[in-house]
Structure 1
């Protein structure tokens, strides 16, 4: 059943596209563009009152298995965010990069009501299927948004308010969307600003958790511009591999530190410190002050050791930092690192790794051959 009259909602969609809505909100350009695509490209009906498409249990299970590494990295973020917003009647959902809900947190007594609205694992929220909604907007624009009530394209969702934020991989690819949605809320759009900010912060925590899981084999520099926050809430993460190269950086680090768009690169190009000093520092105990190379600014940091510290230390001493091959570009080296991580996380299950990377299995086989990546048990020496 629609939350507003279908004819009234259809008229609002047309008026917003034409610029005839009074006080449409900060995201009017994004909404209008999405409305136009929903009408012209996808031929969706704004008056439609049916809920979203829901995957079968088998389909959802296959997707969740492919997203296992991502799901594990969320930790307790979903229940913690839900604890902050549950009293206001929100549920929290996690979608993958295709808009499929793969996890959620909701009060048990409210579960049936949210399921009826389509806020349930297996629901599909891509723009080409559901038109303008929070998750679809983030998937396309890669920016946080609140889609409030009649901002939704379809009449079926005009009672909902959805605040969503993107989640990125260590290399900047969108890997998911975090969303907090309510079945009922105040009409004023400004009432959702706090929820939107909480969702943004939680999405960043998930990103950093995914980063730490993806680069457990590396030495991790956890840094902050203020020394008093290093221990409790580091804002920048750098992964340093066994050859002394920075191979990955989180979003904050890429925004603050110049030169991290093209990785890998030697530690000395980023920080005025030798890689050996980072390995020698006592992880979790010594607070380091590190100067940014060429900038003169300081970061305060602590270290998390790699899973195999001895191996890292011996390779730093025995082998000079070098790229894999002079024929590979920086972009190719970064791609090789991503493929190696996906293969390790999937335990060398090619189909699962391909899904994690967003490529076909045939493409994955070609890239493995191109980069000469082989399973550990087939490596020589």
Structure 2
């Protein structure tokens, strides 16, 4: 497809009211909302080194957690001419993995640390459209808004923070001229799996003193996790868990008993539940020794047995 014909097609679809596909909607945003020109041949803008360092420092804990996952993903796709990148929520590339043989090509395209791949800056592209729509996307060659980007294929998945807000995008871009849509699907599946792993690892790292529970969900390909404190109160939840359990969409969640959220019911209510939890913990610490557990709780052995019986705990 020539530069002129691609730019004309994008312009036509962007202004057509009958074009209802997700791709057409992104092209329309690029042209009408962001005022971009599909024939513009300028490369993505890049932050200065101090600006990039400031952004990376602000997300240092996340980048450190994500780095091993990026290494693993690059190990799977790097030899096939792919560039692995991690951006912030604004589409700025903060980290990447690329081979020396492919580095010059990707640098020329602007697929490099510090560059801005938001949809507002570059129009429809894997990173920007993934962030704009908050979903996994693949933008293959001439599906890109700008003609200068039609030589690449980009597979992306969003990463959500522990506060339920969009945190980053994980991108694999290919420079291969023979890249097929079938191969794109294989890479896209790996990108989605890695994004889920990064989200889960960072969530766990964000609640170092909590127990992490996998909540029941009908969506197996998402990280549905709860952070539960020592009092069995849910104090954190991933975005998928928030949606599955009807919790606050973003920000801190109001602490709730994990048992209530997970639908675990028994005959105990109120203080009985708290007392049972305390007795169970004491027995566990005493390795099942009732006398030692009673001493730890400051009660007599006979009282301990009576409480165990009332709370449904075997003697």
Provide closer, same or farther for how the CA distance between residues 19 and 106 of structure 1 changes in structure 2, counting only shifts above 3 A. farther
Q: Distance in 2 between matches of 1:195 and 1:137?
A: 17
Q: Distance in 2 between matches of 1:84 and 1:147?
A: 20
Give the one of 119, 125, 129 matched to 2:111.
119
Provide closer, same or farther for how the CA distance between residues 185 and 254 of structure 1 changes in structure 2, counting only shifts above 3 A. farther
Give the one of 226, 235, 244 matched to 1:238.
226
Give the one of 135, 143, 146 matched to 1:143.
135
Give the one of 267, 270, 274 matched to 2:258.
267
- Name the residue aligned to 1:7: 4
Give ranges in structure 2 of 5+ residues lacking alignment.
Answer: 266-272, 286-296, 298-315
* Structure 2 residue matching 1:76: 3-state secondary structure: helix
* Structure 2 residue matching 1:138: 3-state secondary structure: helix
Q: Post-superposition shift, 1:93?
A: 0.2
Q: Distance in 2 between matches of 1:282 and 1:142?
A: 44
Q: Distance in 2 between matches of 1:118 and 1:37?
A: 22
Contact 1:222/1:237 (<8 A) preserved: yes
The answer to which of 124-133 and 239-248 deviates more is 239-248
Structure index of larger Rg: 2
What TM-score comes out, normalization by structure 1 length? 0.63
- Name the residue aligned to 2:42: 50
- Name the residue aligned to 1:180: 172
Q: Post-superposition shift, 1:187?
A: 6.0
* Structure 1 residue matching 2:110: 3-state secondary structure: coil
Contact 2:13/2:28 (<8 A) preserved: no
1:19-58 alignment, distance < 5 Å = 29-58=21-50
Give the one of 245, 248, 258 matched to 2:236.
248
Query: Which whole-Å deviations, capped at 9, do the CAs of 1:119-159 have from their partners, x for residues lacking one?
Result: 11001011111111111111111010001101111111110
- Name the residue aligned to 1:133: 125
The answer to which of 12-21 and 127-136 deviates more is 12-21
- Name the residue aligned to 1:81: 73
Q: Distance in 2 between matches of 1:234 and 1:14?
A: 36
Give ranges in structure 1 of 5+ residues lacking alignment.
Answer: 22-27, 226-232, 284-313, 315-381
Provide closer, same or farther for how the CA distance between residues 76 and 187 of structure 1 changes in structure 2, counting only shifts above 3 A. closer
* Structure 1 residue matching 2:85: 3-state secondary structure: strand
Q: Distance in 2 between matches of 1:94 and 1:280?
A: 45
Q: Post-superposition shift, 1:73?
A: 2.0
Query: Which whole-Å deviations, capped at 9, do the CAs of 1:199-254 have from their partners, x for residues lacking one?
Result: 111000010011011101222235789xxxxxxx9964321124431011234544
Q: Distance in 2 between matches of 1:224 and 1:42?
A: 40
Q: Distance in 2 between matches of 1:153 and 1:173?
A: 26
What TM-score comes out, normalization by structure 2 length? 0.75
Q: Post-superposition shift, 1:186?
A: 3.3
- Name the residue aligned to 2:57: 65
Q: Distance in 1 between matches of 2:213 and 2:92?
A: 33
* Structure 2 residue matching 1:124: 3-state secondary structure: coil
Query: Which whole-Å deviations, capped at 9, do the CAs of 1:92-130 have from their partners, x for residues lacking one?
Result: 000000100000011123212211111110010111111
Q: How many residues in Structure 1 have an aligned counterpart in Structure 2?
A: 267
1:203-214 alignment, distance < 5 Å = 203-214=195-206
Q: Post-superposition shift, 1:170?
A: 2.2
Provide closer, same or farther for how the CA distance between residues 196 and 281 of structure 1 changes in structure 2, counting only shifts above 3 A. farther
Contact 1:246/1:264 (<8 A) preserved: yes
Provide closer, same or farther for how the CA distance between residues 30 and 235 of structure 1 changes in structure 2, counting only shifts above 3 A. closer
Q: Distance in 2 between matches of 1:31 and 1:196?
A: 17
Q: Distance in 2 between matches of 1:136 and 1:197?
A: 19
Q: Distance in 1 between matches of 2:223 and 2:165?
A: 19
